[in-house]
Chains A and B, each alone.
Chain A
Amino acid sequence: MNWKTTATAMGLALLASTGLARADGVLNIYNWGNYTSPDVIKKFEAKYNVKVTITDYDSNDTALAKVRQGGTGFDIAVPSQTYVPIWIKEGLVLETDPGKMENFKNVAPEWANPDFDPGRKYSVPWALGTVGVVVNTDAYKGPADSWGIIFNTPDELKGKVNVVPEMNDVIFAAIKYVGGQQCTDDKAVLKKVRDTLVAAKPNWIAMEYNTIEKMGAGDFKATSDWNGSALRQRLANPAIHYNYPKEGYGLWSDNVVVLKEAKNVDNAKLFQNFIMDPENAAGLSAFHRYANAITGSDKYMPADMKDAPEVVIPAAAKPQGEFQKMCAPEIQDIYTKIWTELQK
């Protein structure tokens, strides 16, 4: 590159940056990685003339810890329902009252007044999902609608099962498998949970998050997983099936909140309202592959998601679904000990 082209490039870069500065404003989103549809963001940017930046996090705890330290510069975050009450209690989020926003009428009734944010004073639904069992039917043809695939692995799958190392999800599943209630402090149940987990581990090959690629490549033949991830796996290999465990499975949602330290509150509120629009909600779903809580979004959904068993919970499996909660700190402490015991 000679000086002339360098100068031109720098000039263009300068032009571009001043172009950005001329936008009406900015919006800084802090969200899970690979989760935000670039198309929907582009649409938002164009509609309100706002420049959006997105920063990734990889876990609820990371996001919480970082935002709690303050000075992040983020306007919006997307914690899971289990964490929303903590964010509210710790005074990290702004009461934007989405329940009174224009597009709130689109929110499905069962999501309009959830336990974790009564009356939707703070949060707007981003995505909904379930935690279940994924099996490659080329490797195992038997019934797979049970946590037994993970905790009492059939011979065909021994040494080929992965478990996504999300502590709360795994303990939830194990409690359901031994017939207990989530967040139980019943020592007899927890002892069974620990023994079940420790006995099951030798049949697992790994405890990893990277299931889409590894199931696709055949390193894993079965895994515990989220439904959206399972959908991506099936689209790559039709033999991969998602199952709703009959012992009970977790339902979760991620929710958009505005941070108290947000500098662009108006844009953040616009964004909360924007994603409750059916077409935009469908756009988000088309990217992250999870369901959304917006009625009327079905008709904008991509064809391969409309009837997907991963997205639309079959009627027979509906009753076993249960909203996951955050357990009390002392119970969480026991879970950590069981978890350490499991992974030692």
Chain B
Amino acid sequence: MATAEEVAKAAERRDVRDRWLLSAPALLVIFLAATGPLLIVLVYSFLTPGAYGDVKWQFSSDAWTSVLLERDIFDDTLSLAAAHVTIFLRSIKLAVVTTIATLALGFPTAYFMATRSEKTRDLWLFLITIPFWTNLLIRTFAVLQIIRNEGIINTILLKLGIVSAPVQILYTDTAILIGMAYVYLPLMVLPIYASMEKLDFRLVEAGYDLYATRFRVLRRIIFPLVKPGVIAGSILVFIPALGAYVTPSVLGGGKNMMLSNLIELQFGQGRNWPLGSALSITVMIIVMVALLAYVRNAGKSGVRHG
């Protein structure tokens, strides 16, 4: 005779099994949709480039070798692929700087929004989401119209007599950063705001009551409590910024390649699809390593609160 305990356990096992079976179709679709295209990219990265694009079904590890190593076209020596490394570092730097810039702008914005009255908060939230209604390309071109030599800023500066010749902003690193910060700002503001909205501001008052300075309140109370939002925002900004394509090309003038341009070159005029695939996977690895490092670090120093 089974005891009541055993019966209960069996029922629980059945319950778990049923749940898995019921969710299996959805899980399978998600699994295939997520891994299918990636597998193709992975397989392609181990093939031989076709003469005019596409791939030949012939195993080769050349693509992977040439991600980081290159055979000099002139003296045939094998060395570190300086061009690729430069491009990688440029993209990583841009992504990091963009994340910092959006954080610096987004944190105060989210704080401002969260400290408004309940009614006006929705209005601010609405205003933040408005840029999402238009396409990324159009937003980038809007920035271009503002900063170009005949653009709004330069026209005003010239008319006011502050400068005698237009300030060259377009096609500089500053232009890229302005564009990136503008385009990705909402992605930073929204998660921080979500955490900030839940923040119990009585804790802040308590901090002041205990003679904490403003900075101390920010550092010891507000920041630790909204940290999940900051982490989520940083991740949301960093990943697309690393692969940014349109904004750097349009505002930077396309003179200096970003990772995305390098990958695009391999599928276009470069006609080296395996190298393009290998580079794409390399980007994913960079993102993964960066995320792991970031989340771990952030988790370690996290302050628990209940």
Interface residues of A (CB under 8 A from B): 59, 61-62, 64-65, 68, 86, 90, 159, 162, 165-168, 187, 190-191, 201, 204-208, 217-219, 329, 332-334, 336-341, 343-344
Please name the residue on chain A nearest to B54 by beta carbon: A68
Are the C-beta atoms of B269 and A168 separated by less than 8 Å?
A: yes
Shortest Cβ gap from A282 to chain B (Å): 32
* Chain B window 72-107, contacts with chain A (Cβ cutoff 8 Å), 1 for yes, 0 for no: 011000000011101100000000000000000000
What CA separation (Å) do A85 and B271 show in the bound complex? 16
Shortest Cβ gap from B264 to chain A (Å): 10
Are the C-beta atoms of A86 and B256 separated by less than 8 Å?
A: no
Q: Does B254 contact A (CB under 8 A)?
A: yes
Q: Does B270 contact A (CB under 8 A)?
A: yes
- Given A68-B54, A191-B74: A340 in contact with B268 (beta carbons within 8 A): no
Provide the residues of chain A in CB contact with B82, threshold 8 Å. 344
Are the C-beta atoms of A337 and B171 separated by less than 8 Å?
A: no
Shortest Cβ gap from B299 to chain A (Å): 36
Are the C-beta atoms of A201 and B255 separated by less than 8 Å?
A: yes
A-B contact pairs, 9 of them (CB 8 A): A65-B54, A162-B253, A204-B255, A207-B255, A336-B270, A343-B261, A344-B83, A344-B87, A344-B257
What CA separation (Å) do A86 and B254 show in the bound complex? 29
Provide the residues of chain B in CB contact with A339, threshold 8 Å. 265, 269-270
Please name the residue on chain B nearest to A87 by beta carbon: B52
Are the C-beta atoms of A86 and B87 separated by less than 8 Å?
A: no
What CA separation (Å) do A167 and B272 show in the bound complex? 14
Shortest Cβ gap from B210 to chain A (Å): 55
What CA separation (Å) do A50 and B53 show in the bound complex? 34
- Given A337-B70, A339-B270, A344-B87: A207 in contact with B150 (beta carbons within 8 A): no
Provide the residues of chain A in CB contact with B272, threshold 8 Å. 333, 336
Are the C-beta atoms of A61 and B253 separated by less than 8 Å?
A: no
Task: Please give 14 more A-B residue pairs, beta carbons under 8 A apart, in addition to A205-B255, A208-B254.
Answer: A59-B268, A59-B269, A61-B269, A65-B267, A166-B269, A167-B270, A206-B171, A206-B255, A217-B149, A219-B149, A340-B270, A343-B254, A344-B83, A344-B86
Partner of B51, one of A61, A329, A340: A329
Provide the residues of chain B in CB contact with A162, threshold 8 Å. 253
Q: Does B262 contact A (CB under 8 A)?
A: yes
Are the C-beta atoms of B83 and A340 separated by less than 8 Å?
A: yes
Provide the residues of chain B in CB contact with A336, threshold 8 Å. 265, 269-272
What CA separation (Å) do A68 and B268 show in the bound complex? 14
Provide the residues of chain B in CB contact with A167, threshold 8 Å. 269-270
Are the C-beta atoms of A343 and B257 separated by less than 8 Å?
A: yes
What CA separation (Å) do A168 and B265 show in the bound complex? 13
Residues 237-269 (chain B) with a chain A CB within 8 angstroms? 253-257, 261-262, 265, 267-269
Partner of B253, one of A86, A205, A329: A205
Shortest Cβ gap from B170 to chain A (Å): 7
What CA separation (Å) do A170 and B88 show in the bound complex? 24
What CA separation (Å) do A154 and B272 show in the bound complex? 36
Are the C-beta atoms of B271 and A332 separated by less than 8 Å?
A: yes
Count contacts between A and B, CB distance < 8 Å.
Answer: 88
What CA separation (Å) do A337 and B269 show in the bound complex? 11
Please name the residue on chain A nearest to B262 by beta carbon: A340
Are the C-beta atoms of A65 and B86 separated by less than 8 Å?
A: no
Are the C-beta atoms of A343 and B256 separated by less than 8 Å?
A: yes
Residues 132-156 (chain B) with a chain A CB within 8 angstroms? 148-150
Highest count of chain A CB atoms <10 Å: which of B149, B170, B255: B255
Provide the residues of chain A in CB contact with B171, threshold 8 Å. 205-206
Provide the residues of chain A in CB contact with B256, threshold 8 Å. 343-344
What CA separation (Å) do A178 and B269 show in the bound complex? 23
Are the C-beta atoms of A341 and B83 separated by less than 8 Å?
A: yes
What CA separation (Å) do A344 and B265 show in the bound complex? 12
Shortest Cβ gap from A80 to chain B (Å): 12
Please name the residue on chain B nearest to A217 by beta carbon: B150
Provide the residues of chain A in CB contact with B86, threshold 8 Å. 344
Shortest Cβ gap from A236 to chain B (Å): 14
Are the C-beta atoms of A90 and B52 separated by less than 8 Å?
A: yes
Shortest Cβ gap from A152 to chain B (Å): 18
Are the C-beta atoms of B73 and A338 separated by less than 8 Å?
A: yes
Shortest Cβ gap from B263 to chain A (Å): 11
Are the C-beta atoms of B170 and A219 separated by less than 8 Å?
A: yes
Please name the residue on chain B nearest to A58 by beta carbon: B268
Are the C-beta atoms of A218 and B149 separated by less than 8 Å?
A: yes
Are the C-beta atoms of A343 and B52 separated by less than 8 Å?
A: no
Provide the residues of chain A in CB contact with B253, threshold 8 Å. 162, 205-208
What CA separation (Å) do A64 and B54 show in the bound complex? 10
What CA separation (Å) do A159 and B51 show in the bound complex? 37
What CA separation (Å) do A191 and B261 show in the bound complex? 24
Provide the residues of chain B in CB contact with A64, threshold 8 Å. 52-53
Shortest Cβ gap from B15 to chain A (Å): 47
- Given A61-B268, A343-B255, A344-B87: A187 in contact with B74 (beta carbons within 8 A): yes
